[in-house]
Structures are given as structure tokens and as C-alpha cells.
Amino acid sequence: MTRSASTPGAKPSASQALLAPSRWRAWEVVAWLALVASPFVATQHAALINEVAILALFALSLDLILGYAGIVSLGHAAFFGLGAYVAALFAKHVMPDPLVGLLLATVSAGALGALTSPMIVRGTDLTRLMVTMGVALVLMELANKFDSLTGGADGLQGVVMGPLLGRFEFDLGAQVASIYSLTVLLLAFVVLRRVVHSPLGVSMQALRDNRLRLSAIGLSVNGRLAAVYTAGAALAGAAGALLAQTTGFASLDVLDFHRSADVMLALVIGGTGWLWGGLVGAVVFKVMHDLLSAITPQYWTFWLGAFLVLLMLVGRERLFRPRRWFGARRQGGGQ
Amino acid sequence: MLTLLFDGVAYGMLLFVLSLGLAVTMGLMNFINLAHGAFAMAGGYILVLLMQRAGWPFLACLPVAFLVTALIGAVLERTLYRPMYGKPHLDQVLFSIGLSFMAVAAVDFTLGSQQQNVQLPAWLQHRFEFGTGAWMLGMGAYRLFIVAVCVVLALGLQTLLSRTRFGSRLRAAVDDPRVAAGLGIPVNQVFLVTFAVGSGLAGLGGALGADLLGLDPSFPVKYMVYFLIVCAVGGTSSITGPLVAALLLGVADVFGKYYVPKLGAFIVYVLMIAILLWRPQGLFTREGRR
């Protein structure tokens, strides 16, 4: 699928120009090969790779709704947490097979997304921020309330996962776990890559940029919003399920506000509106977290905050493209 | 029963003063400032430090808390906030989350993570009781004091915004900054003063509520949600909206935590979602908002 750049001078036809962004670039293939190879090469960092892959999947799901459909959400942890709890409870009480649990968690998080999607089609950005955050907080209070089921603040203990595909046991070194998470991430990435370049994906971006025009050309705005929100929720549920399955643990922490904030930060660091944003952001965020908390374990949030303030003040575009520091004109209106 | 109601009202009034600055920046200046809780925390810590280390009386600390926080707010507005005014809301949210992360870590680093205690003066520790049985009304002097201060503030601000020259300048600057500037209104200064007063109010609220709400470095994160709820539910175009929302929230929260303690803040969140679904712009809105 890799394609070299079209010969200079020759004008690409309209259909070629439209299809160009959907083709796999050489660097993407290389990056993916490196990612998939990483658990085999850096075996001692497998646990970290696993965490990065999960955060990347989570960020990818947020990118779908925020970067492509323009729905702001401060409560994406609701779906992550639901996925985690469903996967953990299913493994504990019904069946320890990870793949079935993953599927079930994805479907139930998607169902919650579909259920809550009418809430996000109305109002302003502020309303959406509040409602999404409210949903996550409500779920957290519920999980806290029904602590006989969820284990409450102590977490859900005693989740024993079965071997993956009936053969590969989850080991302490997390190698199997990281490969598992990376595979799911790769699958999600490939599917999303198809989706965002499909007519549905293009109409989503049109929706983000101008709702009025989209409805004027006869497309259903609310239907599309609901569809993309459901898809994002399902993916987030899958990420949560991966976390619960690979750590064998779920606690109130998976629904906490800081989850929603972290994933938002990761995505914003990587850049919204392109699929690699979630992946790059997750890697940068986790590595930054690791390095900073090695220096100041307790106060690393200070530097995270400082980085965020700087990023927002200067603008992502300008911060990461140093040649634009000189003589670059100011961009109005941000992204 | 009545005691609970009164406690809820006192709590709501406190939330009102705390969120008012946020309502002003959000509704009038169209800026979502999630670092608002950090200003409230600053006010609380100023009070605690002055009382514990310098031995100042409670009443003297309140204006100082207001002034110092307002000053911090003014400096930050001038240096950091102003470039963010035109940016998209999401950028503002992330920017101010970053600021409050910094504030939390900085306070944790300098003053430690333990809960700070406030020694209330003796005259605020009284308790008045009226009636008997289910209809007994018990009012703590501290809560009564909070309610009184908040009522005065609310009335004063309403007058300030609707009757004075500054109020009309502010509203003009908000409605259309360019035209306002063309008319010779110093828009930047008006915004600066407004932001400073809003931060100062948060500081005052934080100082007033240091005993009722508890004060530790996680304060901005813990109460940010409440402030946002007040603003989102009340709508941000008037003072009445946040006032009603804050009272509603305070009463619902106190009742909820008393009767079904395990559900915690569940009731508040459900109430918020319900109200926002019913009226996405908040309970009270001005027609034709952008």
C-alpha cells in the first residue's frame, strides 16, 4: 500500500488528490513495525509499553470524537472505566477468556455511548464539557455506592485472566500483555484509518468545521454525532478492558477525573485531528511522566502544568516547528 | 430539617461567592477559567497563614485575602491570561487546568499536603436554636456570618453591574469589544479590573469557607467541579442565575449527604445533567447569546 510521492510536475486528478491522504506512507509502516517490535526488543520495559499502548488507544478514541467530530469531552473516562469494570467483572464471575471480555466491554461501553449521545448533541461547548464530566462523575459515584460489586475504593480484587487464545499466559514481565495491547491498538488504528477517510469520516470533519452547512447539504448532524460518539465510547471501553485485563485489577481510579484529563492532555500534546496524534501524545505523555516522576515523584504535576501552559500560550504548531519561531506570522483563532 | 435547610443555604451562598468570579469571566469575558479554584485556595491559605503565623484576627484577614488574591489575579491576567482570550474554549480549558496543576503542586511543595485548620474566633462559634422537634432551627454563628457577607456582596455586585458607569462599560466591552474600544472605553483595563475582582472574590470565598469546606492543596481540583456546575446550571449572563443555582446545589448537596451519605455527590451530578438537558444554556439566559 505504500506509495512514493507522485512525480513532480504532473498534476494529480481530483480523485487522486482526494485519495492521497488515505494512503499509507512509508514512515507509518516503519513506525508500526517499530511499535510492534518494541516488546520483543525492550523486554524490560514491556509494562511501560503496555501502558503506552492502552493510553494510545484511549487517546485514539478521544481523537475520533474530539479531533474529527469536534465534540469536547471532559468525561471520556466514563467509557474507559465502564470497559474496565465490565472486563474485570466478566473475568471474575463468568469466564476468564480475555478476548470475549474485551468484546463485551467494547460493546457495553458503546451502548453507554449510544445511550448518552443525545446529551451531547445540544448546547454549547461548556454544556458538553459539563455533561460529559457529569456522566463520568455519576458513574464513579455509582461504582463507589455499589462497592459489594465493584470493591469500591479498595478496587476489585481477585481477577484472574485466562490465557490469551488459550495458549499465552499473561506473565509478570507483561510481554504478552504489551503484545496483546499493541495488537488491539493496531487493529483499531487500521479500522479508524479506513473510517476517517470514508465518506462518513469526511462528513464528520465537515460537521466539526461547519454544522450548518452539513445540515444544509442534507446530512443528519445528530445522527452522525451519535454514531461517532458511540464509536469513540466503544474504543475507550476497549482501552479500559485492556487495562483491567493486563493488570488484573480495576478500581475507582479508572473512572476518576484525572483519567479524562490525562487522555485529553496526551491527545493535545500529540495533536488533534490526525490519528497519529493519539499515539505520539501517549508516548510523549508517558515518557514525560516517567522521567519527571523519577526526578520529583510528588511534584511532577507542576512541570506537567507548566508544559501545558506553555503549549497553550505558544500554540502547538509553533512550539514544535522551531523554524516558525522567527518571523512567523501570528495565527488567528488557533487550530 | 430546617437546620439542614439553613446549612444548605449557607453552603450555597458560599459556593455563590466562590463561583461568582468564574461566572463573570466565563459569561462576561467568554473565558473558561478552570484555575478559578486555585484563586480560592490562595485566599484560604492567605487567611490561614496570617492567622497562624502572624496572629491576625479573622476579620482583618478577610479583606487582605481579597486584596492579595485580586492582585495575583491582576498580574496573571496581564501576563498569562490576556493572550488566551481569543483562543478556542478547549485551549482555555487546558491552559487553566495546567495553571491549577501548577498551583496544587506548588502549594503542596511549600506548605505540605496536610489539611489546614482555622481557629474561628469565639464569637463565631455560637449556635442559636429556635423551635423544637422536627422544626427546630439551629444556626451556627459562622454560617450566619457567611450568609450575611454573601448577601451583602451579591447586592453590592448587582448594583455595581447594573447601576454604575463601570458596569455599563463592562457590559459594552463584553458585547462588542471593538465597538466599545472605538467609543473610548479602555477595554483591556475594564477586563483587567473585572478579572482581578473576580479572583479577589474567589479568594474571599476561599478564606470565608476555609473552615466549612476544608483546605488542603487538592482544593482547586475538588471544588472546581462545583464551581463549574454553578456556572453551567445558572447560566452566566446575570448574577441571579448563579445565585439560584448555587443555592439549589448547596441545599441538594447537604440534604443528599445527610439522607443518603453513600451516594455522596451523586444527586448533585444527576441534577446538573437533568437541568442541562432541559435547558442547555443554563436556567437563566439572555436572549441572543453568541
pLDDT of residue A118: 82
pLDDT, tens only, A140-158: 888 887 777 777 667 777 7
pLDDT of residue A2: 42
Q: Do A312 and B266 touch (CB under 8 A)?
A: no
Looking at residue A121, the DSSP 8-state letter turns out to be: S
Domain annotation covers residue B49: yes
Number of inter-chain CB pairs under 8 A, A vs B: 136
Contacts of A311 in chain B (CB under 8 A): 94, 98
Question: Which residues does B240 contact at the CB level (< 8 Å), separation at least 6?
Answer: B234, B284
pLDDT of residue B132: 64
Q: Do B228 and A133 touch (CB under 8 A)?
A: yes
- Residue A145, all three cell numbers: 455506592
Chain B residue with Cα closest to A333: B87
Q: Do A138 and B273 touch (CB under 8 A)?
A: yes
Q: Which ipTM did the prediction report?
A: 0.74
Domain annotation covers residue B150: yes
Confidence at A328, pLDDT banded by 50, 70, 90 = very low
Domain annotation covers residue B284: no
User: What is the Cα–Cα distance from B19 to A216, expressed in whole angstroms?
Assistant: 39
Domain annotation covers residue B38: yes
Exposure string of A72-100, with b = 16+ CB inside 10 Å and e = fewer, is bbbbbbbbbbbbbbbbbbbbbeeebbbee
Beta strands at B137-140 and B127-130: parallel, antiparallel or unpaired:
antiparallel
Contacts of A134 in chain B (CB under 8 A): 229, 269-270, 272-273, 276
Going along chain A from its start, the domains and CATH numbers come out as 35-295 (1.10.3470)
A333 in contact with chain B, both atoms CB, cutoff 8 A: yes
Domain annotation covers residue B288: no
- Residue A181, all three cell numbers: 495491547
Question: Which residues does A24 contact at the CB level (< 8 Å), separation at least 6?
Answer: A1, A2, A3
Question: Where residue B180 sits, what CATH number does that domain have?
Answer: 1.10.3470
Residue linked to cell 422537634: B133
Q: How far is B289 from chain A (nearest CA, A)?
A: 11
Grouped pLDDT means (10 residues each) for chain B, 290 residues: 80 85 76 84 86 79 87 87 79 85 84 74 70 67 83 85 83 80 84 87 85 79 81 75 84 80 75 79 56
User: What is the Cα–Cα distance from A70 to A205, expressed in whole angstroms?
Assistant: 8
Residue linked to cell 470497559: A83
Domain annotation covers residue B99: yes
Domain annotation covers residue B248: yes
What Rg do the C-alpha atoms of chain B give, in angstroms? 19
Average pLDDT of A169-181? 77
Confidence at A234, pLDDT banded by 50, 70, 90 = very high
Domain extent, residue B238, equals 2-278
Q: How far is B95 from chain A (nearest CA, A)?
A: 5
A146 in contact with chain B, both atoms CB, cutoff 8 A: no
Q: Do A305 and B100 touch (CB under 8 A)?
A: yes
Looking at residue B115, the DSSP 8-state letter turns out to be: P
pTM of the model: 0.80
Q: Do A123 and B80 touch (CB under 8 A)?
A: no
Q: How many domains does chain B have?
A: 1
Domain annotation covers residue B285: no
Helices and strands (H, E) in chain A, number of each type: 15, 0
